[in-house]
Structure 1
Amino acid sequence: MTPRTLMSRRAWGQHVLAGAAAAGLPGWAAPALAAAASPVPEVSRILVGFGAGGAIDVLARLLADRIAPQLGPSHRIVVDNRAGANGQIAAHALLSAPADGSTYLITPLITPVLSQLVFQKPGYDPAVDFVPVGLIAHFQFALAVPASHPARSLGEFIGWRKAHPAQANFGSPAAGSLPHFFGLLLGRAAGVDLVHVPYKGAPGLFTDLVGGRLSSAVETTSGLLPLHREGKVRILATFTERRTPETPDVPSIVEAGYPQAKGSGWFSLWARKGTPPAAVEAVNRALNSALADPALRTRLAELALEPDPRSPQQLEQLRLADLARWRPVIEASGFKAD
């Protein structure tokens, strides 16, 4: 057998590239070997903690198609749905995956931020067990009331709440979700007590909001927007600094007078601690390049997502900032998921 048949493809690529460099040969002399020497395995996967067809699943598949070719001509990324427990099943799958650069987790900030605040025993510590790869995109939230509600603005809603304390509540799609805590944050900023009514998903929440069985609800702007446009609910404010392109007729929370409550959700990519830094850097470069593509940015805008490519270090800074931001809100609520 020849030496080449005894070596793995990657080892052979590294061997020949090293020899070429030593001999002073140009890099184009063996282009196929560059892919073989990639720090990311040819077949890798992105874990998704939610079911197929949702926004984060669609996002994962869009990114997989665009990142894979940048990692090598034969590279392939598989999207692996591990739905359940508000993303915790996928987080634990990452924790048990090999730290060889083959496995990544796409997640909203429930895993890197909220899990440490709402679960008594999440089973992992993002600061210890995971490493940041890159920020992907932000998504926004809004407060809406039924179309029959007398309040036409957020100020009027707060005034109505003070006059009708027994009726003042807000629904969210899940206890311990970001909409839950945005509602509490607004109540804290406005100096009123908004009673939380949790649901098991958005469908039941929307049914009761439209039917007037809830006085208000907090959910993603993209989820509420169709009902707002149909005149079934009225979005009073988005939890943003400025009005959004999707809702130019709706004031931002800052414009409405409650800048303390502004914020957003975000999707990001993570790897297991111990993943080779070269693999993390390669995936971050490929991710940021994909997010700069005009066609992808247009597609993400259709999903009400705002791309925000950053370095792994900047993602970690964002995680720490949101951890400090949400900790007092959640601790004051006394909420625990288990």
Structure 2
Amino acid sequence: MIRLTRRHASHALLASLLAASAVLPVQAQERPAKILLGFPAGGSFDTIARLLADKLKGELNRTIIVDNKPGAGGRLAVDILKNAPNDGSVVMFGPDAVASLYPFTVAKLNYNPARDLTPIGTVAEFPFAIAVNPQSKINTLADLVGGIKRSPNMAMFGTPAVGAPPHFYGTIFGDAIGVKLEPVPFQGSAPVNMALIGGQIPMAVDVMGSMLENHRAGKIRVLAVSTPQRAPQLPDVPTFAESGYASATGLGFNALYAPGNTPAAAVAGWSKALTKVMALPEVKDKLISMGFIPVGKSPEELVARTAGSTRLWEQAVKASGFVAE
């Protein structure tokens, strides 16, 4: 298993950020810029990437295209990014998993996050949530925990994929309540929701955004969210901390990255533009409607955030007993 310590992640990522600040070649500025995306068209990450491309083109004064390279949970895009020109013409939009989770779940990772990813800035956070079927008569997290402890058959949760963040967030919740929970993997969030609606699984753990529509329609019942404070999208749903399980607080996130050794001038240009775009009301409103929490901060903030995420996922993967293949 590949090891990425918090100190290694922070120091190496920050070192890549502070690379030589050479002025970009005129040719690089004139070419259309590209945002690599390791997920297919039509999904939430694709929607955000295209929103960013549309808004960033004005700030950067250049055409920006989204290049979908789906595969391996976003890892294919990283493989392409690491071999891309490091002149600021190519960046990648991806989840925190590419830098902080996959080093612990993929035995032979084709890239080194500290070496091959230069942080530009965090785009948005996404909470995790736990939900049940509303016909179960479980109305609170306390009801669910009591049911789990009374019946071993309740100690199973649906998750959209093996080795994905919701899988390990289920482990984090299990540790918080002192019960080992068993993941039931599906091929994506939609099948998880359908299984929960149909009563095939007692509960599900997924990103909050994937549960919003069915919760609002009364088809599932979200019991708790992983945000430090209540999520703006679900103001009536308590946090894990409010329910007595503060250790289950935590957020995933997505961010922009440049190739390793990208000059600081290029990173600064993208970062400044991203900060401005993320402050636009229409961008904030769109992300919130999708279940995300807008961020848009500095490369240094992303370095620190990645270190914390690395620590979170390393502990969760170890606790789950997951073996990298």
Partner of 1:290: 277
| Residue 193, structure 1, aligned to residue 177, structure 2 | no
Query: Could you tell me how far apart the structure 1 residues matched to 2:323 and 2:58 are?
Result: 42
Q: Give the Å deviation of 1:309.
A: 1.6
Query: Could you tell me how far apart the structure 2 residues matched to 1:313 and 1:97 are?
Result: 23
Partner of 2:32: 43
| Residues 201-280 of structure 1 mapped to structure 2, 5 A cutoff | 201-280=188-267
Structure 1 runs of 4+ aligned residues shifted over 2 Å read 34-42
Partner of 2:44: 55
What's the C-alpha RMSD, in Å, of the aligned pairs? 1.8
| Residue 315, structure 1, aligned to residue 302, structure 2 | yes
Q: Give the Å deviation of 1:115.
A: 1.1
Query: Could you tell me how far apart the structure 1 residues matched to 2:31 and 2:57 are?
Result: 9
Change in 2 beyond 3 A, CA 1:333/1:36: closer
| Residue 281, structure 1, aligned to residue 268, structure 2 | yes
Q: Give the Å deviation of 1:39.
A: 7.0
Partners of 2:28 and 2:89 within 8 A in 1? no
Change in 2 beyond 3 A, CA 1:40/1:335: farther
| Residue 306, structure 1, aligned to residue 293, structure 2 | yes
Question: Where in structure 1 are there 5+ consecutive unaligned residues?
Answer: 1-33
Partners of 1:171 and 1:198 within 8 A in 2? yes
| Residue 83, structure 1, aligned to residue 62, structure 2 | no
Query: Which structure has the bigger radius of gyration?
Result: 1
Q: Which residue identity is paired with 1:334?
A: G
Query: Could you tell me how far apart the structure 2 residues matched to 1:304 and 1:162 are?
Result: 31
Partners of 2:96 and 2:253 within 8 A in 1? yes
Partner of 1:68: 57
Q: Which residue identity is paired with 2:57?
A: A
Q: Which has the higher contact order (CA 8 A, sep 6+)?
A: 2
| Residue 178, structure 1, aligned to residue 165, structure 2 | yes
Query: Could you tell me how far apart the structure 1 residues matched to 2:30 and 2:168 are?
Result: 39
- What are the Cα deviations for residues 81-131 of structure 1, in whole angstroms up to 9, with x where unaligned? 001111111111101212221111100111111111111111111111111
Partners of 1:46 and 1:77 within 8 A in 2? yes
Q: TM-score scaled by structure 1?
A: 0.86
Question: Where in structure 2 are there 5+ consecutive unaligned residues?
Answer: 1-22
Change in 2 beyond 3 A, CA 1:41/1:259: farther
Comparing 111-120 and 39-48, the one that deviates more: 39-48
Q: Give the Å deviation of 1:35.
A: 11
Partners of 2:24 and 2:87 within 8 A in 1? no
Secondary structure of residue in 2 paired with 1:250: coil
Secondary structure of residue in 1 paired with 2:34: strand
Q: Give the Å deviation of 1:335.
A: 1.4
Partner of 2:147: 160
Alignment length (residue pairs) = 303
Partner of 2:12: none
